[in-house]
Amino acid sequence: MLLSDAGTSILAKNLKKKPEPSGPFSLVRIVEPYPFTYSFKVKESNISISISRLFYIRFPFRTEEDWAKRVELGYIKVNGETVSPDFVVKVQDQISHYSPSVREPSVPDNVKVLFEGNGFIVVDKPAPMPVHAGGRYHKNTLIAILSEQGYAPLHVVHRLDAVTSGLMILATTKEKAGELTQNFQTSGITKVYHALVKGLPDWEEIKCDLPVRRDKGFRFTTSDGSGAKPALTEFRCLHRGKTGSIIECKPVTGRTHQIRVHLKALGYPIANDFVYLNDSKVTTLQNRPIFLQQSVLGLPTEHNNFEIPIPDDWFRILEDEAD
């Protein structure tokens, strides 16, 4: 077996019980608009391009023309000075972007702390919700919400995309953060995801070891080209519907979007992941959850194994498509 039996046991639990109907409303968290200035330094990879182009590459949720207008308004400055949209940036230039009224996208208001241990907590992160501040989010983040609940300081020791839900470990001390980070880097922590994909695999188990590299903006791709990093994911097909399937995914490495791009490369993209469906040319950031959940986290050093069930809605979707 490529994977542990954790996914099989979770699947059995879901198949034995009748899914409860979802409620008509979900609690959402909304923050009032506020002024904010974001600053960063130009990296080597971004030199010799215009300031408006730089913002479009880094933050593609606006067009390059929109960013140029913000430069002309003086909201975007270089080293504290106003510049024109075609100003060419240099490495280590200090860039600032002032927003007079930041309106953050809403996020689910149901972060659950499942466990409090010695130097760490385990939470069930909903989606869409970023883990830490960046881009359009400063207050509607997992770290900010947990801090408001009294869990601070917190240290991020592994990644989970904003549009991905599921289990996360957060360290509450620097010492534990170092230990857990090392465990993640050496594959000392078991990670199992589940995905609802488009298509019916003709395999029961398979490995994908295609290298992964950044394609454009927030998109990644499988490629042997420059900048590609080795990647390995193990997959097992747990359940097939009429046109879709539930796949158990075990990432051996931890590249950004690894599971998503490997599933696409195999021909079975996540069913509602419009960034990677077919030959999608999506350039705007996603603001909806995708059918990908981190369901199992095993911490051998803590003698703990944390699991959450596959969402009932996924099975309902597969049942409905068969009608």
Active-site residue, 202 included: no
**How many residues in the chain?**
323
Q: Where are the alpha helices (DSSP H) in 160-282?
A: 174-185, 258-266
Token pair recorded at residue 18: 């009748």
Rounded Cα distance, 140 and 292, in Å: 21
**C-alpha 1: how far from its chain's center?**
27
Q: For tokens 């499942």, what's the residue?
A: 114
| Residue 247: its H or E element | strand 244-251
Residue type, 58: R
Query: What are residue 213's DSSP bridge partners?
Result: 221
Rounded Cα distance, 211 and 213, in Å: 7
Rounded Cα distance, 132 and 154, in Å: 10
Token pair recorded at residue 316: 């309902």
Query: How many C-beta neighbours within 10 Å does residue 321 have?
Result: 11
Those residues whose C-beta lies under 8 Å from the C-beta of residue 106, and which sit 6 or more positions away, are 28, 29, 30, 140
Catalytic residue among 5, 66, 161, 320: 161
The CA–CA distances, whole Å, from 134 to 143, 201, 305 equal 12, 37, 31
Whose CA is closest to 295, among 314, 310, 317?
Answer: 310
Q: Is 201 helix (H, G, I), strand (E, B) or coil?
A: coil
Q: For tokens 């506020």, what's the residue?
A: 34
Q: Which residues are catalytic?
A: 161
